[in-house]
Structure 1
Amino acid sequence: MNRVFCEDALAGLARIPDGSVDLILTDPPYNLGKDYGNASDQQTVEEYLCWTERWIDAALPKLKPNGSLYIFLTWRYSPEIFVMLKKRMTMMNEIIWDRRVPSMGGSVRSYSSVHDTVGFFVARKDYYFDLDAVRIPYDAETKKARSRSIFIGAKWLEVGYNPKDVWSVSRLHREHSERVDHPTQKPLEIIERMVKASCPPGGVVLDLFMGSGTTALAARRCGRHFVGFELNPDYCAIIDARLAAEDAAAVLAAAAVAEDDAAPAVKPARAKATKAAKTTKSATAKATKAAKATQAAKKPAAPKRSRVPKPPEEISI
């Protein structure tokens, strides 16, 4: 547990015991031609659907009887893949992730696609689901409007409401603090909601296609264990750096709390933690830079254009 293996998921799944995973949370290639450093996103439709069915059949036995699965998909293939999963599990929700794409550009022959589709499936009726962990608090104005006696003491008013099946969370822009060098990185906010709701504290999350490692990071932040696979060694380096940075930040926070408790001897520990955090942050930056350099080296160089001098402009007097 708590390791991302740099290998093909179909090979690595054989080592995971059946019935040992609480949650499968995964974001497989969408088969839209993205460059992940390999050909995993560049298959024919038949090859892609056949490959998807292979990893689904290999992964589902790893779930506990009360386990769940979340899968990110594109609308182009979600109907076929949802049918595959419906033959094996019970579908609870189709979640729409609204990426908050700016209203500009797009096709002039169709409607602009601004969402990802997420399927939420369970193995049986007594599946684990902690709604209170992901409720959304009501604002002060709403609470004030519900001040009549019939609402006094209502639990739902205090703890918040059930998230709907449309999640409006901005995609990660290049300047975002979470962003690393991965073309389809998902926001922590979304992944943490899934982990908190569908994996018990201390449980195990499996991600077959780790990518930038957001599932691993979310599991660690939420007090869960993780295991996963990623083919691209550059992405594996980014994952290691992100996890190291998270660990250093946790040490720093613990040192700050201890110092606030008036323990002068803790100050040197905090200084060490701060130094460690800076080191891991630098490592993350280096890993991202190395990944970009690797991707750039794989692309063919553009042919040089010959420069033809422009004729002098005519001046009319």
Structure 2
Amino acid sequence: MKNFFFGSIKPYYETEAEMLVLGDTFSVLEQIKPGSIDMIFADPPYFLSNNGITCQAGQMVSVNKGEWDKTSSFEEKHEFNRRWIRLCKSALSTNGTIWVSGTLHNIYSVGMALEQEGFKIINNITWQKTNPPPNLACKCFTHSTETIIWAQKDEKKAKHYFDYALMKELNGGKQMKDVWSGPLTPQKEKTYGKHPTQKPLYLLERIILASTNEGAVVLDPFCGSSTTGVAAKRLGRRYIGIDNVQEYIELSTRRLIGEVKSERVSCMEPKYV
């Protein structure tokens, strides 16, 4: 996997089909060879750590995730998004695509940054959570959705891949719509530890199946617990994950090693209509 990089990248964990890199996302992205990545899934900081409260396992807890989830101004947040998106565009192949998840705290900045950096938005997926945490403040509607933007390079030669037939098949013979309903990450996917914004496997499996062929190279620049990597491994894709927190890279390593020993059972239970 080192042949995707310039210079002397030192992987934290590496096999023939996967690599985890502990380091600053920007510095690592700068060393990826241009046009070498087929698909990117990014779950960047949502910047919602504002000392508020939420509900977790029936308990009132702080929404704060860590220093990586804080910002001082909209300008700082937007420049952050433009910078990593710019680097991802360089790494992405002409026909490659990028998926970015977020909430109201960051997704509007992400959408604007994508267009400013030369991307064309293909779809705006709404992930509807069937079991969201309750709204403890009772001053607004319960937050139960996240947005996932799917985009391609805004270039005449760019032709993105979409497995329309498979998506239709998985949706009972009907065209799949852009609202996907399903539960939050189950406890069984946190066996090796958990990340505060960990995505469920079924979500990443669907994204990878929809937009890549087997053998494709999938990059996650904010990999966290590497749900992207586990899904890629199950589906026969190659994977590169980057994170600047050693705790999360260690968790990612445990999950990827554990996946070798697990039965590769598809996580496709939720219905997508």
On whether the aligned pair clears a TM of 0.5, the verdict is: yes
Q: How does 1:1-317 map to 2 (within 5 A)?
A: 1=1, 2-33=18-49, 36=65, 38-44=66-72, 45-87=74-116, 88-101=118-131, 104-123=134-153, 124=155, 125-137=158-170, 160-173=173-186, 176-179=187-190, 180-249=193-262
CA deviation after TM superposition for structure 1 residue 60, in Å = 0.7
Aligned residues: 229
SS in 2 for 1:108: coil
- Supply the AA of the counterpart residue of 1:86: E
Larger Rg: 1
SS in 2 for 1:5: strand
Q: Please tell me whether the aligned partners of residues 101 and 149 of structure 2 are also in contact (alpha carbons under 8 angstroms).
A: yes
Q: What is the CA–CA distance in structure 2 between the aligned matches of 1:163 and 1:67, rounded to whole Å? A: 21
Q: What is the CA–CA distance in structure 1 between the aligned matches of 2:171 and 2:201, rounded to whole Å? A: 22
- Supply the AA of the counterpart residue of 2:40: I
Gaps of 5+ in 2: 2-17, 50-62, 266-273
- Whichever structure has more strand as a proportion of its residues is 2
- Specify whether residues 50 and 177 from structure 1 end up closer, same or farther in structure 2 by C-alpha distance, changes over 3 A only: same
- Whichever structure has more helix as a proportion of its residues is 1
- Taking only aligned residues, the RMSD between alpha carbons, in angstroms, comes to 2.1
Gaps of 5+ in 1: 140-159, 254-317
TM superposition score normalised by structure 1: 0.67
- Specify whether residues 240 and 35 from structure 1 end up closer, same or farther in structure 2 by C-alpha distance, changes over 3 A only: farther
SS in 2 for 1:247: helix
SS in 2 for 1:135: helix
CA deviation after TM superposition for structure 1 residue 225, in Å = 0.4
Identity of aligned residues (%): 31
- Supply the AA of the counterpart residue of 1:23: M
CA deviation after TM superposition for structure 1 residue 183, in Å = 0.9
TM superposition score normalised by structure 2: 0.78
